[in-house]
Amino acid sequence: MHGTVILDGDGQVLRPAIIWCDQRGEEQCGWLNRTVGARRLLELTCNPALTNFTLIKLLWMREHQPHIWSRVRHVLLPKDYVRFCLSGEYAIDVAEASGTLLLDVAGRRWSQELLGEIGLNAKLLPEVFESPEICARISPQAARLTGLAAGTPIVAGAGDQAAGAVGMGITRPGTVSATIGTSGVVFAATDRPALDPKGRLHTFCHAIPDRWHVMGVTQAAGLSLRWLRDLFSAESGSEPWSYERMTEEAAAAPPGADGALWAPYLMGERAPHMDPNIRAGLVGLAASHTRAHVIRAVMEGVAFSLRDSLTIFSELNVPVEKIRLGGGGARSPVWRQIQANVYSRRVEIIAAEEGAAFGAAILAGVGAGIWAGVDDACDQAIHVAEDIPCQPHVAKLMNQRYRDYQRLYPALHSLHATPAQDKSHA
């Protein structure tokens, strides 16, 4: 999601794509807020200016690489470039387009008003489709290269989070997903654009027509554990540790990690702080702490960060009746139990582990007429494999540790804020 692929008039790529987590556009975020206004941007797109979003990367290129920008005729996101290669068609779905910061999310169309205010030509953008809608077909050239039949229909699809939500059955209000991949995402379907007036969450179109979702993102969720794994492996000079070995070791440490706390801000943070400059912190260490304590603290810190988004859901009256776990974090029994205790709720694991790929297949099936709609497809294809109850005595401790965790961001912000940020928080 949010990646930026730019093409010339012949469909040739002009520069390497800028990926979702790139932070280079902080100055462009400031320019956009001054030019359009932060409040007005929320009204137009339902989202604040963030370095992750596609528009910010385009503004950076326009300012810093004018010799390339002058040749741009088409802007696509990575999966949509794959579709272009397969079909020759320029298209995007409403869920993915929501993350460009160029979509009128409530109206499910490009924001002509925003495009006019920032001087961006609407002709650069692909046509917008609903996710299960057929938008292209396999070209004869792609058929020769791939073995797929020419004319095979291609649905618009969705970005990984919306597709993953479909693959987990997160289609109606009340069921929420908490996914730990490289980033971490808490995702809730809504029947209206549930706008956070403080801009702490993303409000996007869902992959289901006439439905939306709210989403809170932790930048470095599974990335935190990978960073720790690579650090341990580098120190020992050995092969990279397995995640199974790490999580087994974490199970030996008690809940709460004897006071150790991890703030997972290795790449800045999105929800709820929207702060690209904040940095991670591992605090509360004593000589008695072991490697197992540190691993457990990192896993708990990621779960605390995801709980931040659940807290905002409550403020916005977004119902949370069920929580389903996904991503690599859902494969670890230890991390599953940590999440159940941190969220103080029973959590579910579904039978299919393919996540976004499974959701994309469901969307394709709906587009091909195999199912009448996405809800029907999920009712038939999604099955819960396991329930993990929270442990009340541990959940009580986790509530206390979460309050401690909430004190970390202000302390770290005071260390890492730029002078301009300090002034804005005064």
In this structure, the answer to whether residues 212 and 333 fall within a common structural domain is: yes
Residue 61 to residue 25: CA distance in whole angstroms = 9
In this structure, the answer to whether residues 89 and 202 fall within a common structural domain is: no
Boundary of a domain, candidates 107, 123, 138: 107
Q: Find the catalytic residue in 160, 196, 275, 308.
A: 160
Backbone angles phi, psi at 322, to 5 degrees: -135, 145
Question: Residue 292 domain-assigned?
Answer: yes
Residue recorded with tokens 């908490």: 178
Question: Residue 208 domain-assigned?
Answer: yes
In this structure, the answer to whether residues 223 and 341 fall within a common structural domain is: yes
In this structure, the answer to whether residues 77 and 182 fall within a common structural domain is: no
Question: Residue 356 domain-assigned?
Answer: yes
- Whichever domain contains 280, its CATH number is 3.30.420.40
Residue 108 to residue 128: CA distance in whole angstroms = 8
Question: Residue 302 domain-assigned?
Answer: yes
In this structure, the answer to whether residues 318 and 198 fall within a common structural domain is: yes
pLDDT of residue 352: 85
Beta strands in 181-230 (DSSP E): 184-190, 202-205, 212-218
Residue recorded with tokens 């540190």: 294
pLDDT of residue 199: 85
Count of other CB atoms within 10 angstroms of residue 345: 20
Domain of 49 in residue numbering reads as 1-107
pLDDT of residue 353: 77
In this structure, the answer to whether residues 191 and 302 fall within a common structural domain is: yes
In this structure, the answer to whether residues 220 and 73 fall within a common structural domain is: no
pLDDT of residue 238: 66
SS3 218: strand
In this structure, the answer to whether residues 165 and 69 fall within a common structural domain is: no
Question: Residue 131 domain-assigned?
Answer: no
Question: Residue 85 domain-assigned?
Answer: yes
Neighbour-count burial of 85, counting CB atoms closer than 10 A to its CB (0-12 exposed, 13-18 middle, 19+ buried):
middle
Q: Can 160 be counted among the known catalytic residues?
A: yes
In this structure, the answer to whether residues 34 and 160 fall within a common structural domain is: no
Boundary of a domain, candidates 46, 81, 107: 107
In this structure, the answer to whether residues 238 and 380 fall within a common structural domain is: yes
Residues shown for the chain = 426
Instruction: Give the global pTM.
Output: 0.88
pLDDT of residue 195: 86
Number of domains in the chain: 2
pLDDT of residue 424: 47
Neighbour-count burial of 236, counting CB atoms closer than 10 A to its CB (0-12 exposed, 13-18 middle, 19+ buried):
exposed
In this structure, the answer to whether residues 65 and 175 fall within a common structural domain is: no
pLDDT tens series, the chain, 426 aa: 999 999 999 999 999 999 988 989 999 999 999 999 999 999 999 999 999 999 999 999 999 999 999 999 999 999 999 999 999 999 999 999 999 999 999 999 999 999 999 999 999 999 999 999 999 999 999 999 999 999 999 999 999 889 999 999 999 999 999 999 999 999 999 999 988 888 899 999 999 999 999 999 999 999 999 999 998 886 666 677 889 999 999 999 999 999 999 999 999 998 999 898 999 999 999 999 999 999 999 999 999 999 999 999 999 999 999 999 998 999 999 999 999 999 999 999 999 877 899 999 999 999 999 999 999 999 999 999 999 999 999 999 999 999 999 999 999 999 877 655 554 444
Summarize pLDDT for 101-153 with one digit per residue, the tens. 999 999 999 999 999 999 999 999 999 999 999 999 999 999 999 999 999 99
